Structure 1
Amino acid sequence: MVAIHEKEVTHRSAVAEGVIKFSNSESMKLLLLESNKKGDVISIARIAGIMAVKKTAELIPLCHPISITGIKVDMVHNEKENSVKVTCEVHCDGKTGVEMEALTGATVTLLTVYDMCKAVDKMMTISDCRVVKKSGGKSGDIDVSQPPSTK
């Protein structure tokens, strides 16, 4: 485990995202109409993502336990593409970043959607899981959702 005792406490945040794509529009409709046999997929998946953020240090070896100060999990559906984009934003005031927590939250949210919908759609795909923003700490701010500047 990396020693962080000499690092400064700063406000840190990270945003991770990922996409789940359904193989047909009927599966997407069940999700949107809250007609899935297992219940309200969006609400349950959001809670699963929040819980996962809080358990990251238990799941990822050598990941420091962090005192989280905020978690936001958003899910945006795209009916044209039969997909749902998940975004997980995590905040803390600490000595190490929250990128792993954001990735874990986004990924578990996606996995929960998959689990709840697999009875009606066995061909779903999960893709594009990545950190899109981070701030705080020695390396400063990184925003990969914006194109790099050409100075």
Structure 2
Amino acid sequence: MSKLTHLDEHGRARMVDVSGKETTARIARASGLLICKAETLAAVREGRAPKGAVVLTAELAGIMAGKRTADLIPLCHPLPLTKAVVTIEMDDALPGFRVTAEVRTQGVTGVEMEALTAVSVACLTLFDMLKAIDREMEIGCIRIEAKSGGKSGDWTRS
């Protein structure tokens, strides 16, 4: 078994030292879903959601969360993001919302956690804003779709 990177020789948690790594352009895309009733989706589409601008609020919440990932995830490096975009699309076939995030930086470590956090918080915000009209919603399928940059190179979900 390889040496654990987030534990020191005494088993204490530590942030990995990335100071020797090369600065490169880092990009990560993540996605997730919020499944809801068709009536809930219709209420949002028609502007009848009780809490107002549901999609816009959730997109902004996702961006804000991506920027604060290091405050939420222990041992995650704080990164200066150069781009954070969260997009939420309504999908009648689910029914529900498809949430995507793209995050970029110039840095020594990747932005996968920032993209995942952005999607997660956007989904949670949708849930919060719609729970008064739909208590059976489900959040799921939160995953990395692609990443680029760094020593491990590019990767895209097959």
TM-score range relative to shorter protein: over 0.9
Q: Is the 8 A contact 2:25 2:106 kept in 1?
A: yes
Q: Say whether residues 1:67 and 2:80 are aligned partners.
A: yes
Give 1:77 shift: 1.4
Report the TM-score, using the length of structure 1 for normalisation.
0.93
Structure 1 segments, 4+ long, off by >6 Å, are: none
Q: Number of residue pairs matched?
A: 144
Aligned amino acid, residue 10 of structure 1: T
Q: Structure 2 matches for 1:45-64, cutoff 5 A?
A: 45-64=58-77
Aligned to 2:96: 83
Q: Deviations over 1:81-101 (max 9, x none)?
A: 211110000000000000000
Equivalent of residue 52 in structure 2, options 39, 64, 69: 39
Structure 2 unaligned residues grouped into runs of 5+: 1-14
Aligned amino acid, residue 127 of structure 1: G
Equivalent of residue 4 in structure 1, options 10, 13, 18: 18
Structure 1 unaligned residues grouped into runs of 5+: none
Report the TM-score, using the length of structure 2 for normalisation.
0.89
Aligned to 1:141: 154
Q: Percent identity?
A: 44
Q: Deviations over 1:31-65 (max 9, x none)?
A: 11221111110000000000000110000000000
Aligned amino acid, residue 101 of structure 1: E
Give 1:78 shift: 1.0
Aligned to 1:110: 123
Q: Is the 8 A contact 2:62 2:122 kept in 1?
A: yes
Aligned amino acid, residue 149 of structure 2: G
Q: Cα RMSD over matched residues?
A: 0.7
